[in-house]
Amino acid sequence: MKMNRRQFLNHTCATGTTALTSVTALGSLGMMRSASAQTAGDYRALVCILLAGGNDAYNMLVPTDGPQYAAYSTIRSDLALPRDTLLALNFPETGDRTFGLHPGMGRLAGLINSGDAAMVANVGTLLEPFDAQAVENGTATLPVGLFSHADQIAQWQTAMPDQRSAVGWGGRMADLMQGINLANGVSMNVSLSGSNTFQSGRTTNEFSITSEGDGALSINGYDEDSFFGDFRRRTTDSLLSPTRTQILRSEYRRRFRDAIDANTTFATAMQDAAQLQTTFSANGLSQALRQVARVISARDQLGASRQTFFVTVGGWDHHDEVIQNQARMLPMVSNALEEFRDALVELAAFDAVTTFTISDFARTLTSNGRGSDHGWGGHHVVMGGDVSGGRLFGDYPLLADNSVLDVGRGIYAPTLATDEYFADLALWFGVSDSDLALVLPNVRRFVASGSGSPLGLFGG
């Protein structure tokens, strides 16, 4: 289509004034008595896998029926994957349209076809349902910094495409729900990838662990029963006693004390973590998911009834060599997901854990001669025992030269908002319908209050 990109991009910038109201509304969030998930005992976990850099999802999930494969092949030109290499998926709802998975993702194809995982098509950051005419007229309201890594990778984590915010929707869930876990200093939000936006709340931060050992860090020697250990403990404690009052020093002292205590609590709980029979590959994603499974196995010792986990896998910004890079990296994701499923089944926790992917954006359908550039809507994986597996949620766009969704260079606008995708996940996790807008501030632009799960990802 011929669209007015000038007008289009004009509206991708926000001045920050609209931001003020929603931030103020969120200010009361931490103090609010929440209706969300008050019952302990029904453990649930969300595992967020961030494919950082913008996965070229149109080569992960590919149309395979004759007309659409032809359209795909034309528009992707030298980036098109051969049709006979694609792994057939048996989606029940797509009729004459058929789809295949990237040839390196055999294990994910198995997970989908066996009903343990599903896919969500063409989801992206939106502030209103995409309207090509409104974009053409310059009247559309569009995300801040569309197509920019910094903004888009953040907005998938904040669920606030209308502004730049340091608070994530996982953090806002923890602000609401941390109280249903045992108050032992270990956050509901556990990160295998350090500080991140998704898990940063206003009152709750992530608890950061590593994939090595039992994950916790503690001061060398602090827990040891020895001369050295006793000395370390006494002297360290001496400087952490809350006697002096300079406000920044007090905050540092409090965080230091909390970090020592939370790590000790965590390490103690992890002594009972399962020795998994499932073997995991050696790469970072598999090892991180292995540690997540071990933490989940120690959930009772941790007093956790709700947890989120965050894992980043970087290196998806394939302006160059997209074919070779995806052939190397997508199998890693596929294998890690299957290993994680096996471990959770081993722990009898697969029904209690939902794993989902996010990414900055998908990429241009057109080629730049070496790879693909920054796009918008993309396709994602959701896995878990409660997921209505084997299905394709959302609408995979009909690929065509004159597609109304094509905003230029084969950048397809999303037909599903991240708010809708996240609403299903948050509601399953236990956020009440009345609290949903506290977690996803823009959700009412897409999902009416009281209308339940917009996608039906679970229990369908």
Partner 1 sequence: MISRQSLVHATILVVSLLLGACGGGGGGNDAPPPVSNPPPTPAPPPVSKAEIDAASRMIQRASFGIAYDELESAAQLSPETWLDQQLALPATYHRGVMEEVLSRRARGEFDAFEEDIEYLIFGRRIAWWHNTLTAPDTVRQRVAYALSQIFVVSDRVDTLEIYPYALNTYYDLLLQHAFGNYRDLLRDVTLSPAMGLYLSHLNNRAADPARNIFPDENYAREVMQLFSIGLFELNLDGSPRLDANGRPIPSYDNDDIREFAEIFTGLSFGGPGAFFGNRDEPNFSVPMQMFDAAHEPGQKQLLNGFVVPAGQSGIQDVELAIDNLFNHPNVGPFIGRQLIQRLVTSNPSPAYIERVARVFNDNGAGIRGDLRAVVRSILLDPEATSPADPLTVSGALREPLVRYITLLRQFKIDSTDSLVAATGYLIQQAVNQHPMSAPSVFNFYLPDHTPAGPIADAGLVAPEFQITNATTIIGWPNVLDAIVLGDFPAETPEGFDPVTLDFDPWIALADDTTELIRALDSLLTAGQLDPALADVWIAELDAIEDRSFRFRSALWLFLISPEYVVLQ
* Interaction between residue 217 and partner 1 (CB under 8 A): yes
CB closer to partner 1, 228 vs 452: 228
Instruction: Choose, by CB under 8 A, the member of 23, 134, 219, 274 that binds partner 1.
Output: 219
Any idea which residue has 């370390």 for tokens? 232
Tell which positions 141-170 bind partner 1, by CB under 8 A.
145, 148-150, 154, 164, 166
Q: Collapsing DSSP states into helix, strand and coil, what is residue 264?
A: helix
Query: Beta-carbon neighbour count of residue 227 at 10 Å?
Result: 9
Span near partner 1 by CB under 8 A; candidates 72-80, 202-210, 338-346, 353-361: 202-210
Tell me whether residue 243 or residue 451 sits nearer to partner 1 (CB atom). 243
The size of the interface with partner 1 (CB under 8 A), counted in residues, is 72
CA separation, residue 312 to residues 85, 95, 111, 409 (Å): 28, 35, 21, 28
Is residue 213 at the binding interface for partner 1, with CB under 8 A as the rule?
A: yes
Site for partner 1 in 221-250 (CB under 8 A): 221, 223-224, 226, 228-229, 231, 234-236, 238-239, 243-250
CA distance 48 to 43: 17
CB of 200 to partner 1, least distance (A): 9
Closest CA to 380 of 457, 450, 267, 276: 457
Query: Rounded to whole angstroms, how far apart are CA atoms 81 and 186?
Result: 46
Asked if 361 touches partner 1 (CB under 8 A), the answer is no
> Is the CB of 151 or the CB of 433 nearer to partner 1?
151
Determine if 32 is a binding residue for partner 1 (CB under 8 A): no
Comparison of 101 and 190: residue with beta carbon closer to partner 1: 190
Residues 410 and 345: their CA atoms lie apart, in Å, by 40
Q: Do residues 352 and 45 make contact, with C-beta atoms less than 8 angstroms apart?
A: yes
Residue carrying structure tokens 């550039």: 373
CA angle 349, 393, 62 (to 5 degrees): 105
Told to check if 264 binds partner 1 by CB under 8 A, we report no
Q: Looking at residues 392 to 421 of the shown chain, list those that interact with partner 1 (rule: CB under 8 A).
A: 408-409
- Reduced to 3 states, what is the DSSP secondary structure of residue 90? coil
- The residue (of 302 and 352) whose beta carbon lies closer to partner 1 is 302
CB of 219 to partner 1, least distance (A): 5
Instruction: Find all residues with CB under 8 Å of 92, minimum gap 6, and list them.
Output: 390, 391
Task: Find the binder of partner 1 among 251, 272, 321, 401 (CB under 8 A).
Answer: 251
